[in-house]
Copies of this chain bind each other. A is one copy, B any other.
Amino acid sequence: MANEDTLYKALQELKDGKRDIESVMALLANGYEDIGFAKVDTSRESRSGSPEVIFCEGKTDLQIKGIAQRMQANSSNILATRASKENYDAIRSVCPDARYNELARMVMIKNKDVEVPDPHIAIVTAGTSDLPVAEEAMETATMLGNRVEMYPDVGVAGLHRLLDNIDKIRCARVIIVVAGMEGALPSVVGGLVDKPVIAVPTSIGYGANFGGLSALLSMLNTCANGVAVVNIDNGFGAGCMASMINRLK
């Protein structure tokens, strides 16, 4: 189930003595590689359109490093999310080209090129405090092969800032809207554009915000059409979904 490139490279490594037969067998048979504490899903990209990603929370540095190493061996592009500085250092020890976006808490390693289609994705945020989540979405979408344009800080308390940019936002094929607090922005944007809107609630706020619940419920109950929601602070998920739509033929 592994894609052709991965297979070819693995066989090459076998021939070069850098891999053993069992690991290739496993790759052929299963579409994943078993490294004890993890089963790296080598067929996810061909199957579901986006590569397996390392979710760092709850994993030890040793585990993260092991998974990154195996992905690196398969020449995959690698994304690690919720990555601390320590996680980054662990990854860099096996993937020296790894890049770190501190705001987004992500590690990116580009091992192969992805074709980038014409249409682009717009990422809109209600406030400056929502930027970390927006950056996570941006890095994800970019890595998956999309052009991205950012429109930060156009929240509903100063509507003219949004209205002033709406014509440019409308040009995107799909729009990610990131907002915390009352989470009203996706409803307003959704009412002004005829493009699918991915709404991302953030945990920005306090008190009856309840860790992003207020924005989440607000977005789920939107009266605008063409809006769907991902998890609180899930910039990564929004980036994947937007990429999936933006790259549709």
Residues on A facing B (Cβ under 8 Å): 1, 29-32, 36-39, 41, 43-44, 47-50, 52-53, 55, 57-60, 63, 67, 82, 103, 126-132, 152-161, 164, 173-174, 180-184, 187-188, 190-196, 198, 201, 203-234, 237-238, 240-241, 243-245, 248
Residue of B nearest to A179 (CB): B223
Q: Are A128 and B191 in contact (CB under 8 A)?
A: no
Q: How far is the CB of A74 from chain B (nearest CB, A)?
A: 14
Q: Are A154 and B39 in contact (CB under 8 A)?
A: yes
For A127, the chain B residues whose CB sits under 8 A away are: 55, 58, 223
Residue from B161, B193, B217, B244 within 8 A of A194 (CB atoms): B244
C-alpha spacing A204/B55, complex, angstroms: 10
Please judge, given known A-B contacts A156-B191, A157-B190, A198-B228, whether A217 and B214 are in contact too, CB under 8 Å.
yes
Q: Are A194 and B227 in contact (CB under 8 A)?
A: no
Residue of B nearest to A131 (CB): B37
Q: How far is the CB of A43 from chain B (nearest CB, A)?
A: 7
A-B contact list, 27 entries, CB within 8 Å: A30-B164, A37-B128, A41-B161, A47-B158, A47-B191, A48-B194, A48-B224, A49-B195, A58-B128, A58-B180, A82-B206, A157-B222, A173-B248, A182-B218, A184-B184, A195-B248, A201-B207, A205-B221, A207-B221, A207-B233, A208-B231, A213-B217, A214-B214, A217-B218, A221-B231, A226-B240, A229-B230
For A238, the chain B residues whose CB sits under 8 A away are: 228
Please judge, given known A-B contacts A67-B128, A128-B59, A248-B196, whether A217 and B228 are in contact too, CB under 8 Å.
no
Residue of B nearest to A234 (CB): B207
